[in-house]
């Protein structure tokens, strides 16, 4: 591979990386089209939802892009339960046992109380994934 080709590959990689981490600003900009939302099996009624196995992977999924945006954006860190409990500029993201009062649930709804729906610029989070997050919060938002 020539030096010129290698340089083009490196520049292209940086452009792609920059596009993936610069899109979430919650400024009400027009959303970018996203063609798909990952699907996971439905939550089995009565089953315990695990933060590590069920919820965190939703945030970490590159199609949804929450961790790329909220690795500190607005003071919010979605990668850990403690980050959700501490919250960001608008307070705690979750209220254990009370999904209806949890800011996270309000922000992934069609009509958030402020700003734009999360994930900004992406397709709405699939209903099955929203239900999984809701169930986890209603089960006490355990760090499991």
- 102 to each of 4, 20, 23, 30, how far by Cα in Å? 51, 27, 24, 25
- DSSP symbols for 47-80: PPPPIIIIIHHHHH-TTT-HHHHTBTGGG-B-SS
Does 70 reside within a domain? Answer: yes
pLDDT in tens, 103-123: 999 999 988 988 888 888 788
pLDDT at residue 99 in the model: 97
Does 29 reside within a domain? Answer: yes
Does 58 reside within a domain? Answer: yes
Does 144 reside within a domain? Answer: no
Does 124 reside within a domain? Answer: yes
pLDDT at residue 135 in the model: 97
In the structure encoding, which two tokens stand for residue 101, read together?
A: 């009062």
Does 143 reside within a domain? Answer: no
- Tens of pLDDT along the chain (144 residues) come to 554 443 333 333 332 233 333 334 443 333 333 333 344 455 577 899 999 999 999 988 887 767 656 556 677 888 899 999 998 888 999 999 999 999 999 999 988 988 888 888 788 999 999 999 999 999 999 999
Domain count, the chain: 1
* pTM of the complete model: 0.67
pLDDT in tens, 90-108: 899 999 999 999 999 999 9
Q: Let me know: does 90 contact 1? Beta carbons within 8 Å.
A: no
Spatial CB neighbours of 42, under 8 Å, sequence gap ≥ 6: 128, 131
What is the span of the domain harbouring residue 74? 3-138
- Which has the closest alpha carbon to 81: 90, 89, 92, 73? 92
Does 31 reside within a domain? Answer: yes
């Amino acid at each position: 591979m020539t030096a010129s080709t290698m340089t083009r590959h490196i520049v292209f990689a940086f452009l792609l990386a920059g596009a993936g981490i610069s899109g979430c600003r919650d400024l009400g900009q027009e959303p970018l089209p996203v063609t798909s939302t990952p699907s996971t099996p439905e939550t089995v009624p009565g089953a315990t939802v695990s933060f590590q196995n069920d919820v965190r992977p939703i945030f970490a999924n590159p199609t949804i892009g929450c961790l790329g945006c909220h690795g500190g954006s607005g003071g919010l860190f979605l990668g850990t339960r403690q980050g959700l409990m501490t919250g960001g500029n608008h307070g705690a993201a979750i209220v254990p046992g009370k999904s209806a009062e949890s800011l996270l649930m309000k922000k992934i709804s069609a009509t958030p109380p402020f700003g734009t729906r999360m994930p900004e610029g992406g397709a709405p989070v699939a209903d099955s994934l929203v239900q999984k997050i809701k169930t986890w919060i209603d089960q006490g938002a355990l760090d499991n």
